[in-house]
Amino acid sequence: MMKEKLRVGVIGCGNIFNLAHKHVLKKLENVKVIAFMDIKEERAKQAAKEFNASYYTKLDEFLDLDLDVVEILTPTYTHAELAIKSLKSGKHVIVEKPIALTSEEAEKMIKTAEKESLNLFVGHVRRFDKRWMQIKEVIKTRNILPMQIKKSEFQRLPFPGDYWYWKPDKSGGVAIDLGVHITDFLRWYFESEPIEVFGIGKMIRKEAITNNTYDHFTMIIKFDGGQTGIAEVSWAYPYPARYGVFYHYLDIIGKNGRIKYIPMDTPIIGIVKNQFEMPRFSPMLSTFPDAFEREIKHFLECITKEKEPIVTAYDSKIALEIAEKAINSTKKGEPIKMEPQNPCIKKEVP
């Protein structure tokens, strides 16, 4: 039997915590946030204060606590170590996407979770975003039968050149960081497995060139049902960064119709006060705010009710593998074949 409230601990109190997870954790009634950990004491302290919780800067001390779930919201390169240690100390894990920096690390994480009989969930938040859920639903109900899907996610990364996103050995670059959103999306929509990947990367901004990382990346992914996906990601889009806009472009060509989601055709509510604010409702948001809530609720429910999640760590590992292969492809200059995958498991909408 589970305890009345899930005891949650959070590792990493930076961007994604403050933008998204914090607000959800405050709202959820069956959750008690026990502790925060961050290597920057000030950030952990601030978070702890908001939740009336304790805070730590040492992982061992943090993991000694009696916690049901650990949320890992740290830079990508730390995911594997933190997740494995958390699992080994008996905690379920919810980790931000990408699952890890490499698919080898992802494999170890999955193996550890299996060995410990604990859950490992990865925050593929696109799967919980109403827009993409509804379009997926329309594809089903109208029997669109997608054969080609092009999805672009373009933004201007608003961080300076010494920030971890720009370090390929910390984030994997845009092909990994945003890439896994689309590679997972394509598997989800096609319900089919990738067999071949072609990639072309570019280094456009000086932050990218200095760090030798791609900041604009195009992938063509062929699937075993004859479908083709085009994934395009960019950190170099020349929007003024202060608007924080995020450009989703989705074009689905199916045997029985076509669906387009193009931000220029969809409504935006922008606010200009003494300074520009992020739109409150806009297709220019990377994620609709309630997607994180739906995601975390779903994962917690999978723990309490011992349900299968709609997106597994295994899905996440494949998403990462596709992006890795795309990076290899751009280096090799040729498409790269992918190993046969297990059949895609069809899942219920949460």
Smallest distance, Å, CB 256 to other proteins? 8
In the complex, minimum distance from the CB of residue 331 to other proteins, in angstroms, rounded to a whole number: 12
Residues 107, 99 contacting (CB under 8 angstroms): no
Among the listed residues 90, 83, 85, 150, the one whose alpha carbon sits nearest the alpha carbon of residue 118:
90
Assess contact for 180 and 323: CB atoms under 8 A: yes
**Residue 143 gets which letter from DSSP?**
T
Q: How far is the CB of 269 from other proteins (least distance, A)?
A: 20
Say which DSSP state 156 is in: B
Q: Which of 240, 236, 264, 239 is CA-nearest to residue 250?
A: 264
> How many residues are there in the chain?
350
| Three-class DSSP category at 115 | helix
Q: Which is nearer to other proteins, 183 or 234 (CB)?
A: 234
Question: What backbone phi and psi angles, to 5 degrees, belong to 285?
Answer: -90, 140
* Residues within the interface to other proteins (CB under 8 A): 147-148, 150, 152, 196, 198, 200, 202, 204-205, 216, 218, 220, 222, 226, 228, 230, 232, 234, 236-238, 251, 253-258, 264, 333-335
Q: How far is the CB of 152 from other proteins (least distance, A)?
A: 8
How many whole angstroms separate alpha carbon 143 and alpha carbon 137? 10
Nearer to other proteins, 127 or 150 (CB): 150
Give whichever of 226 and 343 is closer to other proteins, judged by the CB atom: 226
Give 19 or 145: the residue with its C-beta nearer to other proteins.
145
Nearer CB in complex with other proteins: 236/303? 236
39 versus 200: smaller Cβ distance to other proteins: 200
Smallest distance, Å, CB 214 to other proteins?
11
Q: Which residues of 283-311 are buried (b: 16+ CB within 10 A; e: fewer)?
A: bbbbbbeebbbbbbbbbbebbeeeeebbb
Nearer to other proteins, 146 or 309 (CB): 146
Structure tokens at 106: 């992802």
Report the chain's C-alpha Rg in angstroms: 20
Choose among 301, 259, 238: nearest CA to 148. 259
